[in-house]
Amino acid sequence: MNKTPQKPKWMEETKGRIDALQKEHFFDNWSKQKHGKITFYVYPTLNVPGGWFEQRAYIYRINAEKLGVKAPEVAFFAYPSIEVGREIGITPSITFVKERVIHGHIKQSPGHELTHVLLGELNSTDNLPANGLWSEGICVYLDGTETDRKKHALSLNLKKEVLRTPWLEWRKNMPANLYPLAGSIVQYCEQQFGWNKVIEYLREVRKSGANDAEFSMRIFGFPYFELQKKWLGWLEKEAGSGITQPAS
């Protein structure tokens, strides 16, 4: 039972590629600067917009407070775009939580990848794996763009069958189009039960959420499928009204 769950293949490949590039001194001429707990390594010739570093250092600090963890030092490699990364065999929107290393690109939201690192302080990635419902939900919700996740989720006009896909099937590996939905689930849970309950849930969940049904009952007071129904009702209730109100 001590076996570490395998990382997705693309993640392993990216890690291997980064290690190889490091040996070739690929990153040696990237400029380095420190803002708060983040050490940025900047792709040569990349022009970073004003405030870009500061915004990330800020959101990292704020989100650490929100999650109730001490923000660890993190290394952040900044690429000009996804495409530039792909040319060298890297998809630069990846966080190695245990190593506290991010390879990100300039146009990403300020908080998403950094929040993955913070979540790692709250609970192990074995319990909150990347691509899972709760880890991505939190990272989307706290990405620093202040997007209303409910409105965003509704704007996608996803089919009912997609919304009704049992959460148990999302928990380990979630398609990218479900990320905004996961964000709206976190938004719903905060509004309905309060942020402390959400934190408690994140702390307690084990084995990629294998016990999330039990915890749903204990912490939120509803069976997991019931929670999904309630979220769906909340999502649909105010659809089109354009106004988000806390659920009563």
Which residues make up the interface to Zn ion (CB under 5 A)?
A: 136, 139
Burial level of 39, CB count in 10 A (0-12/13-18/19+)? Answer: middle
Q: What is the number of the residue whose Cβ is closest to Zn ion?
A: 139
Closer to Zn ion at the Cβ: 42 or 94? Answer: 94
Paired tokens of 220: 């939120």
Closer to Zn ion at the Cβ: 136 or 212? Answer: 136
Closer to Zn ion at the Cβ: 56 or 220? Answer: 56
Does residue 4 sit in helix, strand or coil? coil
Residue 233 beta carbon to Zn ion: minimum distance, rounded to whole angstroms: 27
Closer to Zn ion at the Cβ: 128 or 139? Answer: 139
Q: Tokens 């245990």 belong to which residue? A: 98
Residue 104 beta carbon to Zn ion: minimum distance, rounded to whole angstroms: 11
Residue 121 beta carbon to Zn ion: minimum distance, rounded to whole angstroms: 16
Closer to Zn ion at the Cβ: 107 or 229? Answer: 107
124 Cα distance to chain centroid: 14
Contacts of residue 93, Cβ cutoff 8 Å, sequence gap at least 6: 82, 103, 104, 105, 108, 113
Residue 74 beta carbon to Zn ion: minimum distance, rounded to whole angstroms: 15
Starting at the earlier edge strand, list the strands of the sheet with 74-79.
31-35, 38-42, 74-79, 101-105, 94-96
Q: Tokens 């990848």 belong to which residue? A: 113
CA–CA distance, 112 with 31 (Å, rounded to integer): 23
Residue 180 beta carbon to Zn ion: minimum distance, rounded to whole angstroms: 12
